[in-house]
Structure 1
Amino acid sequence: MAKEYISLQGKFYLSEIANGVAGAMRHIGNVPEFELEITTEQVEHQESTSGQRTTDFVLTKTTGVNFSGQLEEVDKENLKYILSGMQTDVTSTAVTDHSLGTVKAGEEIKLNGYGLTAVTFKAGSTDIEATKYELDSIFGTVIFKEAIAGPVTAAYTTGAVSHTTIASDFNKEYELFFKGINTATGDSMAVRLWRTKKSPETKFPLIHEELGQYEISGQSLSDSEKGLDVTLGLYGHVVTIPKAV
């Protein structure tokens, strides 16, 4: 008799749910680790007739399905998902008369934008020579090499960038779909979870020696309507698809 082993590889997809309907599937890139955990809360009953106080019945009060994994690809949508944030495209803006107050030599000052162009500084109505400051236009910072008499103002044009907020959107639900291949048998395996909600708890490393990996976790929520169909299940199901002969 052939032995049935499992060694899975595959692709993960998320479909954002709006008004109870799952939208288009989005491939979330390479996922080196992902696992499901089934949890229960049980009450054990001990009989009192044998003198051994044995457990003769177990009542399952609640069930749950949790997930955890790692993402490696961090595009706009994955970044928003990892950070439980909201993503906004910020357009280019012309800024005039941005007051920096009195500046001191060697202090680094953050301007209000990134990818700056057409940057000028004035002390009162007098232009400040470029030799008197060091500008990082990409990150929008400036260091004045000497003290400047009088309040300083800046003018510049900001670049178009993408902002992703941190820990600001906890309510989104996604359907999760896995297209897997069992490399031990050649069979295909699909996993479908009707409703998943990611936990906001995560770690987001900012320094890497190798490629970054970002932890995600959360839980699968039940769908009572689908649970009425034994082939669908309350939380979802696993489908084994035999390889073509």
Structure 2
Amino acid sequence: MTQYFLGQGKMFIASRDSAGNPKAQRWLGDVSAAKIGLKTDNVKHKESYSGQRATAKNIVVGKEATIDMTLMEISQDNLCLAIYGKSSSIASGSVTGEVLPLALVAGDRVSLKYIKVSTVVITDSTPVTPLVVSALKYDVDADFGTITFKDVTGLVQPLKVAYTHAALDNVSVFTAPQPEVFLRYEGINLAEGNAPIVLEMYKVNTDPLKDLALITDKLADMNISASILIDNTKPVSDEFGQFGRILQVTPIP
């Protein structure tokens, strides 16, 4: 009987323990596209007796599997996966004595260490009793944590800033090693009555983010490619294999 496939579903990710088993799984959120690819490396021999130089032997000497995913949810955890980053939560708090660059002039714009700031106070470096800079001499963009100076006449630089900031989420870039994870696709086949289908990939190395559109006229996404590696912690068996497996319900004749 014929069997077609039109899939939708969820992609889950998990770190692996020392035995190669997946730990608790996390849903990657809305994944708008996902596809796997299989490839072999071959050694070919062409015969030399027929006058056609036809291929007489094709020997598979290597195997390669990949997966490409498009992640729509730019969450903190997904960003860590995409940019090899580490996440941290920055509690709301106050900053005193943050030093601004030297030689500022009217019209210069500087950014603070944090964003979403409030109660900004600027002082100069006048000895003994620093001068509190009038708020008329600068503009503050509280959301982005920037200051634009309108007048610096008579101020002794460097200028110093005190302020408070909101709680923030932080993800650093290229501070974590390449992830080695377990991936599991749980989908439904819309072409066959929403029959369930599962794809498990035991050992996956993700590549860093290909691109993230920062200025765009549509929802940004994250395109991630990964290599599906052989997992020697899994037995060589027809049921499980050492790369992964696909599970689906036996169709009713």
TM value normalised by structure 1: 0.91
**Structure 1 residues 158, 196: CA separation in 2 closer, same or farther (over 3 Å shift)?**
same
Give the equivalent residue in structure 2 for 1:88: 88
Give the equivalent residue in structure 2 for 1:159: 166
Q: How does 1:138-217 map to 2 (within 5 A)?
A: 138-149=143-154, 150-151=156-157, 152-186=159-193, 187-217=195-225
Q: Is 1:63 matched with 2:63? A: yes
**Structure 1 residues 244, 148: CA separation in 2 closer, same or farther (over 3 Å shift)?**
farther
**Which deviates more from structure 2 when the two are superposed, residues 204-213 or residues 58-67?**
204-213
- 1:158, distance to aligned residue in structure 2 (A): 3.2
**Structure 1 residues 119, 3: CA separation in 2 closer, same or farther (over 3 Å shift)?**
same
- 1:201, distance to aligned residue in structure 2 (A): 4.8
Q: How does 1:32-47 map to 2 (within 5 A)?
A: 32-47=32-47
**Structure 1 residues 21, 227: CA separation in 2 closer, same or farther (over 3 Å shift)?**
closer
**Structure 1 residues 48, 99: CA separation in 2 closer, same or farther (over 3 Å shift)?**
closer
Give the equivalent residue in structure 1 for 2:226: 218
CA contact (8 A) 1:102 1:148 kept: no
Q: Is 1:75 matched with 2:83? A: no
How big is each residue's C-alpha offset from its partner over 1:128-158, in whole Å with a ceiling of 9 and x where there is no partner? 2222211112221101111232222211233
Give the equivalent residue in structure 1 for 2:132: 127
One-letter code aligned to 1:110: S
- 1:9, distance to aligned residue in structure 2 (A): 1.0
CA contact (8 A) 2:204 2:227 kept: yes
| SS across alignment from 2:179 | coil
How big is each residue's C-alpha offset from its partner over 1:70-126, in whole Å with a ceiling of 9 and x where there is no partner? 110111111111222221222334322223244311110112222223310123322
- 1:18, distance to aligned residue in structure 2 (A): 3.8
| SS across alignment from 1:69 | strand
| SS across alignment from 2:136 | helix
CA contact (8 A) 2:91 2:167 kept: yes
**Structure 1 residues 14, 244: CA separation in 2 closer, same or farther (over 3 Å shift)?**
farther
CA contact (8 A) 2:89 2:170 kept: yes
One-letter code aligned to 1:38: L
- 1:169, distance to aligned residue in structure 2 (A): 2.6
TM value normalised by structure 2: 0.88
In 2, the alpha carbon distance for the partners of 1:9 and 1:98 equals: 50
One-letter code aligned to 2:243: Y
CA contact (8 A) 2:137 2:152 kept: no
% identical equivalent positions = 26
In 1, the alpha carbon distance for the partners of 2:96 and 2:5 equals: 63
In 2, the alpha carbon distance for the partners of 1:153 and 1:168 equals: 30
How big is each residue's C-alpha offset from its partner over 1:200-233, in whole Å with a ceiling of 9 and x where there is no partner? 2510110121111211101101112424122001
User: How many residue pairs get matched?
Assistant: 244
Give the equivalent residue in structure 1 for 2:27: 27
In 2, the alpha carbon distance for the partners of 1:180 and 1:213 equals: 21
